[in-house]
Amino acid sequence: MTRSYLMCVLLFVAVSCVAAPAQQQTPAAPTPAPQAATAGSDLVVLRVNGEPITENQVVVQVGLLARQKQLPSNSQEDRNVTLFKGAVDNIVIETLLHKEAIRLNLAPDQAKVEEQWQTILKQFPSQEEFQKALAAQGYTDAKLRKEMEESSKIEQVLDQAVKGTPLATDADVQKFYDDNSPKFMRKEQVHAAHILLLVDKNSTPEQKAAIKKKLEEIRSEIDSKKITFSDAAAKYSQDSGSAKQGGDLGYFTRGQMVPPFEEAAFAAEPGSLSQVVETQYGFHLINVIDKKPAGKAPFEEVKGDIKRLLDQTSLRKVTQQYVNDLKTKAMIENFMTPEEFIRRHMAGR
């Protein structure tokens, strides 16, 4: 839970610098990220308790925020100011937390670092792809691991800061549920998995017919119990985003999937297979796993989420107060205004 909040307080976490190859999501459309600032210099932009922060460091942080942060929808100038101020604030917080880790003489939790390392590696199809991603971000194994170790120490600082924070009781959870009924009203949902065989837009009718026939044969294999749906999805599906999960797409409501797919999924009964469905992506075989009717979600179903929300809210307040106290006590000297940084790096963007 603390680690999750750390990601909110400090968007610059080592593991976020290395992105795995994008996976195809059938209903999704990509949203372009804002452009990042151009390269900086060793010019000192600010000092935090005497420690210099260079223009290069701010530029890197601006780039990270541009990819991760939901920015205001008003003018580009306002967005650029938000990026600069957010970058500087993140660097100040990170610097102060690092100093606290040193003061407390904390060592990285190597077991957690190794666990995170393995989690990152699993996102890549090969060691070679991982090394390519590292190189593209200007990283080496040693540099990434070092930053992960520093992040581990920051997590421990925050763990100590929130230690003893009162968490939500059963009564708190029940009251939140009773007092916030509109929050728990939901639309009809379907939990489905699918097998997708892609069709190129330039395919001939004969090629399309052959792909459809292949999927019908896969359906027959599943019907005759020669293979499970999950195994068939892992073996045959060309949706790289879901194949490894047995084609599982989770729960979705109307409007989240392309119309032919949605119609077939909502029309089928739980535990049944659809007929082969054609969309602009190709041919799908849909396994409907479960359905949830429209209405208020049952308390038992959402109480875990409510408790997590209430606990995270409490931890967030304590953490924010702790960070604010560190900033209040710190000597922070700024040598560059947002306007000057924008002129130097983001003019016309």
- pLDDT tens digits for 234-288? 999 999 889 999 999 999 999 999 999 999 999 999 999 999 999 999 999 999 9
Sites in the chain below the pLDDT cut of 70: 1-40, 69-74, 346-349
Element (H, E) at 283: strand 282-292
Q: Is the dihedral of CA 30, 35, 36, 39 positive or negative?
A: positive
Kindly list the strands in the beta sheet with 332-334, ordered across the sheet, starting from the edge strand earlier in the chain. 51-54, 44-48, 332-334
Q: How many CB atoms lie within 10 A of CB 339?
A: 12
Paired with 47 in beta bridges are 52, 333
- What confidence score (pLDDT) does residue 39 get? 57
pLDDT per residue over 44-88, tens digit each?
999 999 999 999 999 988 888 887 756 665 677 788 888 899 999
* One-letter amino acid of 198: L
The pLDDT value recorded for residue 349 is 53
What's the confidence (pLDDT) of residue 223? 95
pTM of the model: 0.65
- In angstroms, the CA 180 to CA 96 distance is 38
> What is the predicted pLDDT for the residue at 41?
77
Q: Which domains does the chain have, with CATH numbers?
A: 2-167+306-345 (1.10.4030.10), 188-293 (3.10.50.40)
What is the per-residue burial (b if ≥16 Cβ within 10 Å, else e) of 96-122?
bbbbbbeeeebebbeebbeebbeebee
Helices (H), 49-169: 55-68, 76-103, 110-121, 127-136, 141-162
